[in-house]
Every structure is written in C-alpha cells, then in structure tokens.
Amino acid sequence: MLHRSKYIPSVIAYILILALTLVGCGTSSDSGNTPSTSENQNQTKTTQETAKPNDPPVELTFYIANAPVKDMDRIMDAANKIIKEKINATLKLVVTDWSAYPQKMNLMISSGEPFDLAFTGSWGELNYFQNASKGAYLDITDLLDKYAPVTKSRVPESIWQGVKVNGKIYGSINYQVWGMAGAKGVQLRKDFADKYNFDWKSIKNWNDLTPFLDAVKKGEPGIIPWEYSNQADNFADMPLIYGMDSVGDNKIPGWIRINDKDVKVFNQYETEEYKDYLKTFRNWYVNGYIKKDAATMKDYLPDRKAKRIAALYANPYPDLVDMPELGVQSFMSQAPPEDKVYSYSKRFTEPFIPANSPSTAIVAVGANSKHPEKAVQLIELLNTDDSLFHLLAFGEEGKDYKKISDKQIEMIKDMYNFNWSEWEIGQSYGRMLWDQNANVELSEKMLSMIYEADKTAAVSPVMGFVFNSEPVKTQIANVDATLKEYLYTLDSGSVDPDKYYTEFLNKLKKAGADDIIAEKQKQIDEWKKANGK
C-alpha cells in the first residue's frame, strides 16, 4: 500500500503528511512521472558547472527524524560515492528519533547552531512558517532556479506559493506519490472489524468508532484500540475533519472554514466542533481506548511495528469504498508487510487541497549553512538521481532487497530498512517501487485517481496566502507555551475538559490569541484585496 506521512498526521500532508502522519504503508511507483532525459541533462549540467574536481569534497549535514536504521554506515558509504562523483560533496545524514526531533531542531535553531539541510513542515512541533519568518532558514528562491531547476519545475507554481514567507521560498517541497489532494479518515484492523462484525463502511465521524474501540478493549488484551500521539494530534493537526483549514502553523489559533467565501478567521479552540471532540476523546480515554501516557507519546512507530494498534487516523484516498479491490494489498500502517496485517480504510471527507499541503514535507537549508549552494545541489541530486534515492530508501539491491520485476521489490528481512521515511529526503512523486505484496495494476489505478484529484479537488480559499508572524511573534511564543501546557492533555482525553477547558481558553487569550487572530484577518483581507479575491 502507498506510503503516507503523519502527520503526518496531512499531509501528510504534499502533507506527510499525513500524516502525519503522515500515515500509510508499503511503497509505490508511477512510471509516467519519472525524470525525463532532458531533466537529467539539466541536472548534470547544473552540477558540472559548480563541481570542481581539484577542490576537496564538502561535507553536508542533513537532519531528519527516523527510528534507528540498521546498516546506515554501509548505505551512506555507497551513497557518498555517488554524491562525491556528481557534486564533489559527501552527506552526513543525522538521524534522530521522532520523539526528540522537533525539540532537537528547535534548540539548534534557537542557539544558532549551523546545519546544511533539515526536514521540516508546518505540523506537529516542526513550525516551518514560524522558523522561516524568524530567520532560521535560508532564502533559497534564487538558488532553486540556479541549482535545482528540475526540483523546482516538478511542482506547480501555485503550490510553491504555499511555502513562501514574505514572497520568498525557504524550503524545497518534497512532492510525494500521494499527491496534494487529501481526504481524512481512519484505518482499522480488518481481523478485528470482521471478528466483531463492525460496519466500517457506514462510519462518518469519531463517535461512530466507539462500538469498535469498545469491542477491541474488552476482547483483545495488549491491543491499543486507538492511536494518539503528539505527532498526530486528532484535532489540531487535522482541520479538514471539521470542515476547517489552518492559517499558518496548524496549532496556533486562527483557522477558517473551507466553505466560507468571506474567509473569517476564528479561534478553533472556541468552536462547538472542538468541544464535541473533547467530550469524545475524554470518553475514549476514560474507557481505556487510548494509552494512559498518550499525552506524552511522541513516537508511534514502535506500536505500529509491533501490530499493537487497532485503529488510527489516516489519509485514505482512495479508500476501500472508492476502490474495494484495494483490499488485497491494504495493510495496517507500518506493520511489517510480511505479516500481512490487513486493514479497512474509510474516509470521512471529500478530497481537498488545504493551504498547508505544500508545507507538509519540506527540506530547508539552514540560515547559517557554510555551503548553501552545495546544499541546494544535493537537494537536486536527491530528487533526480533515482539510484541514489532508491539506495537511501531501500538499500543495496541483492543485499537489502530483491528486484522481482521492473516495478516491484522484496525487502530482505533483518537487513537495512529506512522505516518508510524516504519522503523526508526528497520528492518521491513518480520514483517509488512497489512492495512485492502490491498488485501493480491496482496500485497504478489508485495513483491515477490520486493525481486526477490533484487537478479537480476543491482548494483552500487561502491557498497562496502565507501568514507573516513577525508582527505578533511575542504573542505566538506565549501562545505556543500555553499549547504545550494544555493541548496534548486535553486532546488525548487525559484530563477532564469540564475542569480545564475554560482555563485553557483564558490562558490563550491572556497569551495573545486574539491579537494573532486579528493579525491573520488583517493580512488575509489585504491579500484578498491585492489579488482580487
């Protein structure tokens, strides 16, 4: 099945966004979108213009989030042979657990510690827009045109608008195989849904899941009925579920409704939708459907790999109602494919392109990088050299995976595994290979639906608008501190909203939430006027 991010989570997420989670499983391919001969010639010309054989190779650091990766040194040795030959540089890939990655990057940014490249986004605690607006990342607008023309050309100009801050690009978009248009919904373990005769096709919202979660809790010891983590908050990171879209980073107050032509900004935490959400998740937590330590959960991967999750948020488009035949290869997200833990997927929403979709998966150049030109050259190389991309994604052919057809591979057990994180290092659109369990014909039919949705789906009314947080940066810092104090405990159901909800709202107001909302509204009104909207 197709990789999707968390957060993804949206995107995610595009968003990678999933989802984060970016949420999904398996691998994918779209032969119709692989780099053309002219693209590769352009890339080769660009690197030859700047690579000087007599110069010592430059070492570039690239920070990403990932679980520990076996045999990373072996793969990096092989990767660096390619990188050194092509752009006279070497890559030091710095891997940090998801649980610690956002904090690590934010600390590096605060201290001014230099780095060349880093994965980021506008979900969870990655704060792409905030960090870009305060000078953490380098403006690469001109560098993309000069050193990464293929990377730039693959993404429509309208989508690049979605990552600009004050008219400048501060991150390269990792355009992914799941496209830009996303639907939001859930993924359930098929064996449990069948065992308890759960009518998964009829579910339309969180509350409809309660009977299933209850049955799993009572009948399946050791299984977590519903997944929750900081990196895939089921409200703050998923506005589309509630008919809303975020303006700027997802968690900061100030959302809009996707069907509101007037584009009025409001505090999403004051809505009836949020109040209803809190009641549902508090009920789920009290009844044991959510882990007791959910409020502090930052890394969901171990539970997924151990097959302990019965249900989770997903980006299921198309879902099994759209394409029932996908059931033969629909596995629970990030469970070992060889275990064939089948799933049902059901979307709650229509396909939609949120304003934050472009910023779901981004590679940024550090503002204090000593080698920004080389860093952007590496972005281009990762996005155009399929041998390098597949090496990092899957390892070495014959050692880590077997190629069983032109488009399918079989991973060799207990060897190198990048934990489905290739979406962090570059554009996977049209470059992935299908897992041996996939039906290629069905998978490519699915991709054709996804790419068609990119052309036809409704688009956020604020697509292309980027919030400049500078006028309210103090209020945002204060609000962010309040969110860290209250949001995850409330959203996971860990505390009683009757006791803490009003206190949470009052502290948001005191921290400056209303100022932020007013500033967002002011900027949107000016943007609408300037663009004739």
User: 506-519: per-residue pLDDT in tens?
Assistant: 999 999 999 999 99
Beta strands in 78-184 (DSSP E): 89-96, 117-120, 164-165, 168-169, 172-173
The band of 40, judged by pLDDT with boundaries at 50, 70 and 90, is very low
* DSSP state for residue 34 in the 8-state scheme: S
| Beta pairing, strands 343-347 & 185-189 | antiparallel
Q: Comparing C-alpha atoms, which of 59, 65, 79 is closest to residue 119?
A: 65
pLDDT, mean over the chain: 87
Q: What is the mean pLDDT of residues 158-178?
A: 86
Other beta carbons less than 10 A from residue 261's beta carbon: 8
Q: Comparing C-alpha atoms, which of 427, 457, 516, 530 is closest to residue 167?
A: 530
* Predicted local confidence at residue 53, as pLDDT: 56
Alpha-carbon distance of 190 to 333, in angstroms, equals 12
* Predicted local confidence at residue 11, as pLDDT: 33
Mapped onto helix, strand or coil, the DSSP state of residue 226 is strand
Other beta carbons less than 10 A from residue 179's beta carbon: 25
Q: Comparing C-alpha atoms, which of 158, 178, 181, 174 is closest to residue 354?
A: 181
- Pair of tokens at residue 188: 């359930």
Contact 234, 313 (CB under 8 A): yes
7 has pLDDT over 70: no
Q: Comparing C-alpha atoms, which of 39, 7, 21 is closest to residue 430?
A: 39
**Non-local CB neighbours of 54 within 8 Å, separated by 6+ positions:** none
* DSSP state for residue 423 in the 8-state scheme: G
* DSSP state for residue 323 in the 8-state scheme: -
271 by Cβ neighbours in 10 Å (0-12 / 13-18 / 19+) ranks as middle
- Pair of tokens at residue 509: 């107001």
Looking at residue 161, its amino acid is Q
- CA 2 to mean position of chain CA atoms: 14
Greater confidence (362 vs 465) lies with 362
Q: Which domains does the chain have, with CATH numbers?
A: 33-179+359-390 (3.40.190.10)
* Predicted local confidence at residue 518, as pLDDT: 98
The band of 180, judged by pLDDT with boundaries at 50, 70 and 90, is confident
- 């579920």: which residue's tokens? 241
CA distances from 15 to 109, 122, 282, 361, 362 (A): 23, 9, 28, 6, 9
Alpha-carbon distance of 198 to 214, in angstroms, equals 11
pTM passes above 0.85: no
**Non-local CB neighbours of 251 within 8 Å, separated by 6+ positions:** 233, 236, 237, 480, 483, 487
Contact 432, 177 (CB under 8 A): yes
132 by Cβ neighbours in 10 Å (0-12 / 13-18 / 19+) ranks as buried
Alpha-carbon distance of 44 to 36, in angstroms, equals 12
- Pair of tokens at residue 529: 């006027």
* Predicted local confidence at residue 161, as pLDDT: 83
Alpha-carbon distance of 238 to 232, in angstroms, equals 8
Other beta carbons less than 10 A from residue 455's beta carbon: 9
13 has pLDDT over 50: no
The band of 439, judged by pLDDT with boundaries at 50, 70 and 90, is confident
